[in-house]
Structure 1
Amino acid sequence: MRIALLQITTNADKMANFEHLRQAAEYAAKKGARVLVFPEATSQAFGTGRLDKQAENLDGEFATAVRELASELGVVIVAGMFVPADTVEKEGKKIDRVHNTALITGAGLHQGYRKIHTYDAFGYRESDTVKPGEELMLFEVDGVSFGVAICYDIRFPEQFKQLAREGAQIIVVPTSWQDGPGKVEQWQVLSRARALDSTTWIAACDQARPQEERKGPTGAGHSVVVDPTGKVVAEAGYEEETLIVDIDLSELEKVRNSIPVL
């Protein structure tokens, strides 16, 4: 299974971000990648304005454009976007919350995973504007079972273990990781630990580090592919970069039999 991690930086306008996605996807498809993983918040980067203003359902402009592109290229695309959720009141103000969603589209698929664990840490409160999801999600491409998680989910091993119990062989993790002292090191440890916890392949795609200063989790690069033994197979740097990796699943059951943590 050839996959691509497309570590890009997105901005405020979702259709401008789609054009960036399109160019990166065309390159990866030409290289033979079958599943293309983009970062969390591909449709609109954190720190670039209210998410509810451009949020859309899975039949919206951005999601439809990605679906048509995936069909045209003959690939499956996983990309972060925001879907309208609910309205809550806080401190006398009404807030239109969204679901932080990983769109999965192509090869007859068109569905969205809603991020379960909102990023309420390091002084940031994602749950103020994002409603948590409740359901795990798996999808299948060419007989290979994929699980899905988003960013902060990677700090919760039980989610990854349960995805593996339900059949996931590869878990894709669109991410927009908060930069700062020690954060890249935490990301590297967590991605390897989740591979070991679940004995699955981890394919985690982060936003590249933006050139301008933004508030919130806006990306620190270092997208990574980790095998079920915790070995890093490929890792990006801080800048925009595409990783194309051939994942060999032939040894997966052998690993799970030798390390029966599930």
Structure 2
Amino acid sequence: MVKRFVKVALCQRGVTGSKEQNIAETVSMIEEAAEHCPGLDLIIFPEYNYYESLSLEEARANSETMDGRYITEMKKQARRFGVNLIPGSFAETCGEKVKNTCALIDRSGEVAGSYSKVHLMDAIGIRESDAAVPGDKLGVFDTDFGRIGLMVCFDLRFPEQPRSMVLQGADIIFCAASFPTGSPLPPRTDHWDLLVQSTALLNLTWTCAVNQFGSICGGTENPFGRSMVVDPWGIVTASALGRRDIVYATLDMQHQKEVRGRVATWNCRRPDIYTL
């Protein structure tokens, strides 16, 4: 059953320190979110929240399993505050390379599922596949407040993914990202805004996207934040400031049901003539 009002917190931060510093900052933000907004259903952090590696060697050296220090600590925090937690992604050990993986941890502190980024960013001057292998399944999970779909950053550029997740029953779409301004290409802040809002509007589905804020890759790439919550009408209902910030929002699932009834694109679809 889908809960009527779903309370979420998007923790926007820059992943620039050591693994120890990133864990400490993550715990601090979980504490802040839980104390500021009692009764939260889910807290989510950005892509590579544990550590942002700049090479295959660094990624392998800093990779962990689901039983490693990072997820073990995050399980403890989810249990401590009784909240569902997506602690951003981390480099999961996978043979000679890694996977860009997000864990979904439930209120009891157990891993309820995991999603490894399907679309690796071999584009715009970046070759993520040099260090990572792609996942091979969608991130659709049942929670105690409804079914969710989970994506990571570059996945936003592939509309088939959120559409497929909603077709599989996802009530809310979450995205963890490290989405930079772009260098030397023109800024991509407009891409982020359009992609997140269109994901919500085209699927008539609440969409929550959290981005890093700070400098990575030796300062050549700068994630710009702009974490946001977008309603099924495509309206930004909550957004982050241009700094470390936590975005709080209450998602009205009855509003989503009413929008879907009014716009009716789900009823008017013609899958019999689409080529995917």
**2:69: which partner in 1?**
61
Question: Over aligned residue pairs, what C-alpha RMSD do you find?
Answer: 1.8
Counterpart mapping for 1:147-186 below 5 A = 147-180=149-182, 181-186=186-191
Q: Using the TM superposition, name which of 143-152 and 9-18 deviates more.
A: 9-18
**2:60: which partner in 1?**
52
CA–CA distance in structure 2, aligned partners of residues 121 and 229 of structure 1: 30
**SS of structure 2 residue aligned to 1:251:** helix
Q: Is residue 37 from structure 1 mapped to residue 39 from structure 2 by the alignment?
A: no
Identity %: 29
Q: Is residue 4 from structure 1 mapped to residue 4 from structure 2 by the alignment?
A: no
Shift of residue 224 of structure 1? 0.7
**1:192: which partner in 2?**
197
**SS of structure 1 residue aligned to 2:34:** helix
More helix by share: 2
**1:254: which partner in 2?**
258
CA–CA distance in structure 1, aligned partners of residues 145 and 177 of structure 2: 25
CA–CA distance in structure 1, aligned partners of residues 74 and 62 of structure 2: 15
Kept in 1, the 8 Å contact 2:82–2:107? The answer is yes
Kept in 1, the 8 Å contact 2:16–2:214? The answer is no
TM norm structure 1? 0.90
Q: For each residue in 1:160-193, what CA deviation from the matched residue of structure 2 results, as whole angstroms up to 9, or x when unmatched?
A: 0111111111111010002233311110000001
Q: For each residue in 1:114-157, what CA deviation from the matched residue of structure 2 results, as whole angstroms up to 9, or x when unmatched?
A: 00000111110101111011101222333321110000000111
Kept in 1, the 8 Å contact 2:16–2:216? The answer is no
Amino acid at match of 2:95: D
**1:94: which partner in 2?**
none
**SS of structure 1 residue aligned to 2:265:** coil
Kept in 1, the 8 Å contact 2:16–2:215? The answer is no
Amino acid at match of 1:54: N
CA–CA distance in structure 2, aligned partners of residues 258 and 86 of structure 1: 49
Kept in 2, the 8 Å contact 1:102–1:112? The answer is yes
Q: For each residue in 1:210-260, what CA deviation from the matched residue of structure 2 results, as whole angstroms up to 9, or x when unmatched?
A: 3995345x5221001001111001111331111011111112222223333
CA–CA distance in structure 1, aligned partners of residues 20 and 72 of structure 2: 11
Q: Per the alignment, do residues 204 and 141 of structure 1 end up closer, same or farther by CA in structure 2, a change over 3 Å counting? A: same
Q: Per the alignment, do residues 190 and 129 of structure 1 end up closer, same or farther by CA in structure 2, a change over 3 Å counting? A: same
Q: Structure 2 residue aligned with 1:209, among 214, 220, 231?
A: 214
TM norm structure 2? 0.86
Q: Per the alignment, do residues 221 and 167 of structure 1 end up closer, same or farther by CA in structure 2, a change over 3 Å counting? A: same
**2:98: which partner in 1?**
98
Shift of residue 23 of structure 1? 0.3
Q: Using the TM superposition, name which of 117-126 and 251-260 deviates more.
A: 251-260
**2:80: which partner in 1?**
72
Kept in 2, the 8 Å contact 1:12–1:45? The answer is no
Shift of residue 80 of structure 1? 1.4
Q: In the comparison of the two structures, how many residue pairs are matched?
A: 252
CA–CA distance in structure 2, aligned partners of residues 154 and 183 of structure 1: 13
